A and B are shown apart, each in its own frame.
Chain A
Amino acid sequence: MLASMRCASLLSKPLNQPNPVAKMPDTTPQDDDERLVAYLDGELDDAAAVQVEQLLASNPEVRHQVEKLSRTWDLLDLLPSPRASQEFTNRTLTAVRTKAPTSDSDAVDEEVSTRINVVSAPRPSSDKWRRSGVRILAFFGLLFVAAAGFHSTYDFGARHQEELLRNYPVIRRLDEYREIRDPQFLKELHERKTFGRKGQNDERQDRKAD
């Protein structure tokens, strides 16, 4: 890590204090700090790395600060390396056999949490068929509703026309009948079947009788 250490003016001050040393052009103190750590981690592109190296070479104070950054990082190597217990593998395999579900459907919830944004992963073909079936059913359902609506509308129109035809004799003389203010007289007319087709037939029969 020391071999790869190249200073910059970025860490001459602790994080929350302003950095009086010349910074890199067009950067904030936080950008500078990030860039230095990224440089130590080997994450900078060539151009940015060269910039850091130039700054490092010109500032011994910053080099000292970065050295401390690097040394504290190396201290992490003193941490123990915990290992799994000897029984871990067998215990895990046993747990998997007893706890893991046997069907796909049970695994869905678990699978969702383990996915890393597999956005375009192809779905199984059974899903595709199911979705197509739903679409087809929905289409025919709409057709049926449309047909039912059309039929009821058409039926209503036809009935209405029939009624108009049946009452045509009355409608034709409606202005005259309005003058008759006697309901009894109207009732007699109705009983004589004056209104409607039967009324027309009676008129013909009356004319014949004459």
Chain B
Amino acid sequence: MTSTGSDYSIYLRDPDVQRMLRVKEGDEGAFAELVAAYQDRIVGIFSHLLNDPSAAEDLAQDVFLRVYRARHRYQPSAKFGTWLFHIANNLAVNRRVSVARRREISLAGSESGPLGLRPEEQLATSKSAFMPGRQLDKSEMRALIQQALGMLNERQRMALLLNKFEHMSYADIATTMDMTEKAVKSLLMRARENLKGYLEPYI
């Protein structure tokens, strides 16, 4: 998504863009307001993406650190939230690359990233526990859904989370993830099909 100087005005209506422009002028109170407004959402996305609350908070902090460092050159080229999640996506990608370099990841039979569940949790989701047709309680269903989410690759997961929990349009997701809308459409279709395939026996 490219912007020209004449396009900036359409984003100025965004109150968070205005806050960020105040941060650019040195208003630290405006920055604290932005952190408070977005911290749960950023931590939430990373929690679902990484399935690790501690890592999620560390990465969320990095997002805000980057926002602060970029304040002097900030130019509103998108809605503030879209820009913020674009930074978040970049950091998630960087982390994925560095984790993949540090350890061996078995990708046999799947293009998914690391499974979200720890080994002891994976045992709990064995067939005897999650027999299709058996009524699952809420916590079991939640664990199953988390496992299903973990079966998606990280790009599918991120697109799905942005669509579901941030209610982002395909255009905004495309901007956030540096993709075309057509690619987002395809990615989301595969993500939802995979999800349906995994959860279908239990609904």
Binding site for B on A (CB under 8 A): 11, 14-15, 30, 33-34, 37-38, 41, 43, 68-69, 71-73, 75-76, 78-85, 88-89, 91-93, 95-96, 99-101, 104, 106-108, 110-111, 113-122
Contact = CB atoms under 8 A, between A and B. Distances in A.
A92 B62 CA distance: 9
Contacts of A75: 141, 145, 199, 203
A165 to B, nearest CB: 68
Interface string B30-51: 0110011001101110011000
A34 B199 contact: no
Interface of chain A, main secondary structure: helix
Given A75-B145, A83-B44, 20 more contacts: A38-B189, A69-B192, A72-B200, A73-B164, A75-B141, A76-B164, A82-B40, A83-B40, A83-B43, A84-B57, A89-B32, A100-B68, A107-B73, A110-B69, A111-B69, A111-B73, A114-B66, A117-B3, A118-B2, A120-B2
Interface of B: 1-5, 28, 31-32, 35-36, 39-40, 42-44, 47-48, 53, 56-57, 60-61, 64-73, 75, 77-78, 82-83, 86-87, 90, 138, 141-142, 145-146, 149, 160, 163-164, 169-170, 175, 185-186, 188-190, 192-197, 199-200, 203
A119 B3 contact: yes
Identify the 4 closest CB pairs spanning chains A and B, nearest first: A82-B47, A84-B39, A110-B69, A84-B43
